[in-house]
Amino acid sequence: MTHMTTRPQIGVHISGAKSLDLSFERAREIGCTTFQIFTRNPRMWRFSPLTDEQVASFKEARRKTGFRTVVAHMPYLPNLSSSESATMKISRYTLSEEVKRCDSLGIDHLVTHLGSHLGKGTMVGVKNVADAVRQALEVSSGRTRILLENMAGQKNSVGSRFEELRMILDRVPQEGRTGVCLDTCHAYASGFDLSGPEAVEESMSLFDQTVGKESLGVVHLNDSKGGLGDRLDRHEFVGEGKIGRRGMRAILHHPAIRDKPLIMETPFEDEESMRRSLSVARSLMR
């Protein structure tokens, strides 16, 4: 099948619960041109290793459906910013193992939350995240890129400011293997205005000056239930939150964003709501 290269890459988070390879057909049926998955249960520490058969089925499903980019998300439990010995150890192990899984499946990007420094200070968190990413990439034999997701500005969180993302990237020597996943809800919640063309231009200019647009790998295209700078990590359907249709249209037309894989992570009720959101986002891209 022809690669989906000419159409915008836009999709949702797809469940891979029953079998990872089925996620391609599910995504295609909904109308996605890219998608995000968990490669394992995101709410448990334990996981089963991938079998050769699972890997082969996944790669064959991708070849058949022609998806250009596939994104995975780290499980929820790890806290890469933590200095607490047991948490640090299992969090770093989980990241390293997840990168290996993504490498074997040929997944392009692995998005990770950065966690909380638990009151130890931002620079402690920055160093801990950078060390975790560097160690994970040292045992990686593939090409999966680890993307740092900007946070919504909750107390003690690391990575809600662009400067913090840049500091982490600067501390990881594996060039080309790291980048940023920009979550629009999180950016807005942490104080970066995205409500219209001028605001988007200003915020993205700051992103480019601080982080660099070449570091942007994926965009989590989420509207925000909370207001600007409210530090509330609550996603809303595209165009229905505080960023609104005007802001979302400006985001989708920004040159640094429009050609990136765009993933919506709203709590969808069913496939119909996924299709509706894809349709709204595509209408705003025109």
3-state secondary structure of 171: coil
Question: For a pLDDT cut of 90, what percent of the chain falls above it?
Answer: 94
Residue 42 CA to residue 196 CA, distance in Å, equals 34
In this model, does residue 33 exceed pLDDT 60? Answer: yes
Contact between residue 87 and residue 50 where contact means Cβ atoms under 8 Å apart: no
pLDDT in tens, 49-79: 999 999 999 999 999 999 999 999 999 999 9
**Which residues does the annotation mark as catalytic?**
43, 73, 76, 113, 149, 183, 186, 220, 233, 235, 265
Residue 256 confidence (pLDDT): 97
6 pLDDT tier (thresholds 50, 70, 90): low
**First-last CA distance in the chain:** 26
Residue closest to 173 by CA, chosen among 125, 211, 210, 131? 131
**Mean pLDDT for the chain overall:** 96
| Residues forming a β-bridge with 43 | none
In this model, does residue 17 exceed pLDDT 90? Answer: no
Residue closest to 267 by CA, chosen among 228, 230, 227, 223? 223
Would you report the helix, strand and coil content of the chain in percent, each value rounded to 5?
Answer: 40, 15, 45
Residue 23 CA to residue 19 CA, distance in Å, equals 7
Q: 235-236 and 223-224 as β-strands: parallel, antiparallel, unpaired? A: antiparallel
Give the residue carrying structure tokens 């070449």: 214
On whether the pTM is more than 0.85, the answer is: yes
CA 198 to centroid of chain Cα atoms: 25
pLDDT in tens, 21-31: 999 999 999 99
3 pLDDT tier (thresholds 50, 70, 90): low
In this model, does residue 2 exceed pLDDT 90? Answer: no
Domains and CATH numbers, the chain: 10-285 (3.20.20.150)
Residue 99 CA to residue 146 CA, distance in Å, equals 8
Residue closest to 10 by CA, chosen among 71, 62, 65? 71
| Residues forming a β-bridge with 110 | 72, 146
Instruction: Tell me which DSSP letter residue 50 carries.
Output: P
pLDDT in tens, 150-203: 999 999 999 999 999 999 999 999 989 999 999 999 999 999 999 999 999 999
Contact between residue 262 and residue 248 where contact means Cβ atoms under 8 Å apart: no
1 pLDDT tier (thresholds 50, 70, 90): very low
Residue 16 confidence (pLDDT): 85
Contact between residue 284 and residue 200 where contact means Cβ atoms under 8 Å apart: no
Contact between residue 1 and residue 66 where contact means Cβ atoms under 8 Å apart: yes
